[in-house]
């Protein structure tokens, strides 16, 4: 049975699932709700300020800090430290942010009773949101 708004021969329309967008394309395969990207709270490798990013591997709060940390050799030293601890650099800086914002959570991670997983990152992000104005940085 064809849907009323579908063109004849449309395979999705025959099943009654044709959902057109403004341009008439089929949108039946798109999710109903687009989930927001994950946010990560980190400590800047150069200036030690806390910042929030949607990229997991970001290690500085700005381009200026990235250039400065590279020129001063801080990134190289931090990468060597992260390699000796067998951690990616971004996780080391996320742990530093967790230690500043949620000391009890950091202790649990250090004891091995908890991991730096998505739930721990959400707790850190909530603490960051409480400590920082809506449009500022720490």
Residue 82 domain flag: yes
**The pLDDT value given to residue 76:** 95
- Cα gap 9→4, rounded to integer Å: 12
Query: Is residue 107 within a helix (H) or strand (E), and if so which, with residue range?
Result: helix 103-111
45-72: per-residue pLDDT in tens?
A: 999 999 999 888 999 999 999 999 999 9
**Percentage of the chain lying above the pLDDT 70 cut:** 70
2-25: per-residue pLDDT in tens?
A: 445 545 544 444 455 656 666 766
- Region 21-47: mean pLDDT is 74
* Residue 57: both structure tokens together: 């591997």
99 vs 110, residue with greater confidence: 99
Q: Are residue 7 and residue 57 in the same domain, yes or no?
A: no
**The pLDDT value given to residue 12:** 46
Residue 18 domain flag: yes
Number of domains in the chain: 2
- Other CB atoms within a 10 A radius of the CB of residue 11 amount to 10
Query: Is residue 131 within a helix (H) or strand (E), and if so which, with residue range?
Result: helix 118-131
- Other CB atoms within a 10 A radius of the CB of residue 12 amount to 16
Domain residues for 2?
A: 1-35
């Amino acid at each position: 049975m064809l849907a009323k708004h579908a063109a004849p021969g449309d395979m999705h329309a025959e099943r009654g699932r044709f959902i057109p967008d403004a341009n008439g394309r089929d949108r039946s395969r798109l999710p109903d709700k687009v989930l927001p990207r994950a946010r990560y709270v980190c400590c800047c490798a150069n200036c030690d300020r806390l910042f929030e990013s949607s990229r997991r591997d970001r290690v500085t709060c700005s381009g200026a800090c990235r250039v400065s940390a590279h020129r001063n050799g801080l990134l190289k030293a931090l990468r060597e430290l992260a390699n000796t601890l067998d951690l990616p650099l971004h996780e080391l800086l996320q742990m530093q942010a967790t230690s500043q914002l949620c000391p009890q959570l950091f202790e649990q991670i250090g004891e091995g009773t908890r991991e730096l997983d998505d739930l721990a990152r959400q707790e850190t992000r909530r603490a960051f949101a409480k400590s920082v104005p809506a449009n500022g940085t720490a």
